Structure 1
Amino acid sequence: MSIPEVSLDNYEAVYRYYRDHQQNRLVARIAYAALAVQYRPRITYADGARTALAGALGAGKALVIAVNHLTESDQFTLAATAWRTPLRRVIGRTRVLAKDELFVDPAQRRKIDMMGSIPVFRSKNHGLRAVSDAGRVMMDVAAERLARGDSLAIFPEGTCNAGDPRELQHVNSGIGHIFARSEKLGCTPALISIGISYGQVGAGVKSASVFVGVPVEEVSGKPMEVARLVQRDLQSAVDGAVAAY
Structure 2
Amino acid sequence: MDVELTQSEAVYAHYLDHQQDRVRAKLMYGVLAARIRPVVRFTARDRLVRAVRSRKPLLIAANHVSERDPLVLAAAGFRSPLRPRIGHMRVLAKDELFEDPEQRRKIDTLGGIPVFRQKDHGVRAAAEAGRQMFGVCVERMVRGDSIAVFPEGTCNEGDVTRLQKLGTGIGHIAYRALKAGVDVTLVSAGIAYPPHGDRARPMVTFGNPVDLAGFKDETPAALTRMIQSDLQGVVDEVCRAA
> TM range, normalised to the smaller chain?
over 0.9
Aligned residue in 2 for 1:105: 100
**Matched letter for residue 131 of structure 2:** R
Report Cα offsets for 1:157-212 as digits up to 9, x if no partner: 00111111111111121111111111222102100000000134x99x96111111
Aligned residue in 1 for 2:237: 240
Aligned residue in 2 for 1:141: 136
Counterpart-to-counterpart distance in 2, 1:209 and 1:6: 32
The answer to whether the 8 A contact 2:40-2:205 is kept is: yes
The answer to whether the 8 A contact 1:196-1:210 is kept is: yes
The answer to whether the 8 A contact 1:39-1:206 is kept is: no
Q: What secondary structure does 1:72 align onto? A: coil
Counterpart-to-counterpart distance in 1, 2:38 and 2:219: 35
Q: Structure 2 vs 1, CA of residues 14 and 155 (structure 1 numbering), >3 Å: closer, same or farther?
A: same
Counterpart-to-counterpart distance in 2, 1:206 and 1:133: 41
Aligned residue in 1 for 2:210: 216
Aligned residue in 2 for 1:93: 88
Superposed CA RMSD in Å reads 1.4
1:95 is displaced (CA, Å) by 0.4
Aligned residue in 1 for 2:15: 18
Which of 63, 72, 77 is 1:68 aligned to? 63
Instruction: Map 1:38-57; keep pairs closer than 5 Å.
Output: 38-46=35-43, 49-57=44-52
TM-score w.r.t. structure 1 length? 0.94
Aligned residue in 2 for 1:185: 180
Which of 75, 78, 84 is 2:79 aligned to? 84
Aligned residue in 1 for 2:201: 207
The answer to whether the 8 A contact 1:36-1:83 is kept is: yes
Aligned residue in 2 for 1:6: 3
Report Cα offsets for 1:85-141 as digits up to 9, x if no partner: 010010010000000000000111011101000000000000000000000010010
**Matched letter for residue 140 of structure 2:** R
Point out where structure 2 has 5 or more consecutive residues left out of the alignment: none
**Matched letter for residue 234 of structure 1:** L
1:66 is displaced (CA, Å) by 0.2
Counterpart-to-counterpart distance in 1, 2:104 and 2:2: 11
Counterpart-to-counterpart distance in 1, 2:151 and 2:194: 21
Point out where structure 1 has 5 or more consecutive residues left out of the alignment: none
The answer to whether the 8 A contact 2:60-2:189 is kept is: yes
1:71 is displaced (CA, Å) by 1.0
Calculate percent identity across the aligned residue pairs.
49
The answer to whether the 8 A contact 1:44-1:244 is kept is: no
- Aligned pair count reads 238
